[in-house]
Amino acid sequence: MDIHEYQAKEILGRFGVPVPRGGLAYSPEQAAYRARELGGDAWVVKAQVHAGGRGAAGGVKLCRSVDEVQSYAASLFGRQLVTKQTDQAGKGVYRLWVEPACDIAQELYLGFVLDRKSERIMIVASAHGGIEIEDLAETDPASLRRMTIDPAAGLVEFQARELAFGLGLKGRQIAQMVTILQACYRAYRDLDAMMVEINPLVITGAGDLVALDAKMSFDTNALFRRPQIAELRDRSQEDPRESTAGDHGLAYVGLTGDIGCIINGAGLAMATMDMIKLAGGEPANFLDIGGGASPERVVRAFRTVLADRNVSVILVNIFAGINRCDWVAEGVVKAYREVGMTIPVVVRLAGTNVEEGKAILQASGLPLITADTLAEAADKAVAARPKLAA
């Protein structure tokens, strides 16, 4: 789960990371009020969306008057901000963050991520910040410094100092960096984060370190024990199909094709999408109904897939281990009748109680298209699309 910049700054600030003052605004008038409240003669206004690359997309601006703050805010609210990290639909702008302009002498990059190879938290840092880490890795890979943290010892002070020296920091900046690194590590560890990123971490004209931007994402599976994090969720930044599916315990990712997929098991789902592509089609989604799928769960999966109006065919591919094919078949029949299905449905069942499942499908009298293999199911799903158009 992602959160907004201002939320990440508030969290990191509580752990000891120096962050600038700022104010949240839900209207142009409130943005102007925040600027007056903060004081000064220049402010940075930032769109709060769950995507990087806001500056290049026109979502961040330095304003030199209160009127300019209000005018720029008015141009942002309600806008769909399209960045290189969003799809063509972009992300809606419904809140802004206003903070005083900062005297920047140098920009650094700092990130904490999970390194799955070493099974440890890894720090990635660079003396050249202000751009996306992907671009930095491509344009200046030698500038990236990496360090893994032993979970038994945590981030010890000598490691933090070594990283500070490697970034060319001097004097009191070294102690400040040690504090920032240890604070970010504690926030990552204590809140079940998946990523903590400060970009840029700036050296001000006065020589101090300040986190001008921050991102945090969290392990969704751990939110049950982090209610203070779960309440920061902003559904306006999520695909509504994915949000609804998640609320019902379904793993769903929306795609751009027209063949809806209802599958059990992430690996089988990936293989099914590959087979659809190989057969000349395009999957509309990734949907894993998981193990032990009841008929009611299958009905919810159908409703979730049909929420995408681009879907012209549904492919159900079940290999039953924990699941039972007869349960899934009952769910398919129930869903077909309840939702008033008007598009072709291809069903491939294998595994536990497969013969019982096939018998249920056949006895239903519904115009279901059955297949015995994954390749056959993918071919039939692709072939069924012209029938709808005709």
Binding site, annotated residues = 46, 53-55, 99, 102, 107, 199, 213, 264
Q: Which of 300, 303, 363 is nearest to 329 (CA)?
A: 363
Q: Which positions make up the binding site for ATP?
A: 46, 53-55, 99, 102, 107
d(CA 99, CA 253): 35
DSSP SS3 for 324: coil
Q: In whole angstroms, what separates CA 368 from the centre of its chain?
A: 35
Give the residue numbers of the binding site for Mg(2+): 199, 213
Q: Angle formed by the axes of helices 266-278 and 374-389, to 10°?
A: 60
* Cα 273 from Cα 267, distance rounded (Å): 10
Q: Is 303 helix (H, G, I), strand (E, B) or coil?
A: helix
Class of residue 283 by CB neighbours under 10 A (exposed 0-12, middle 13-18, buried 19+): buried
Could you tell me which residues come within 8 angstroms of residue 367 by beta carbon, excluding any fewer than 6 positions away?
A: 344
Tokens coding 25: 């605004």
Cα radius of gyration rounded to whole Å, the chain: 25
Could you give the 3-state DSSP secondary structure of residue 7? helix
Contact in structure between 358 and 329 (CB atoms under 8 Å) = yes
What is d(CA 193, CA 183) in angstroms, rounded to the nearest whole number?
13
Q: How far apart are CA 206 and CA 35, in angstroms?
A: 23
- List the structure tokens of 89: 């639909």
Catalytic positions: 109, 197
What does 176-204 look like in DSSP terms, one character per residue?
A: HHHHHHHHHHHHHHHTTEEEEEEEEEEEE
Binding residues for substrate: 264
Picking from 1, 389, 5, the residue whose alpha carbon sits closest to that of residue 197 is 5
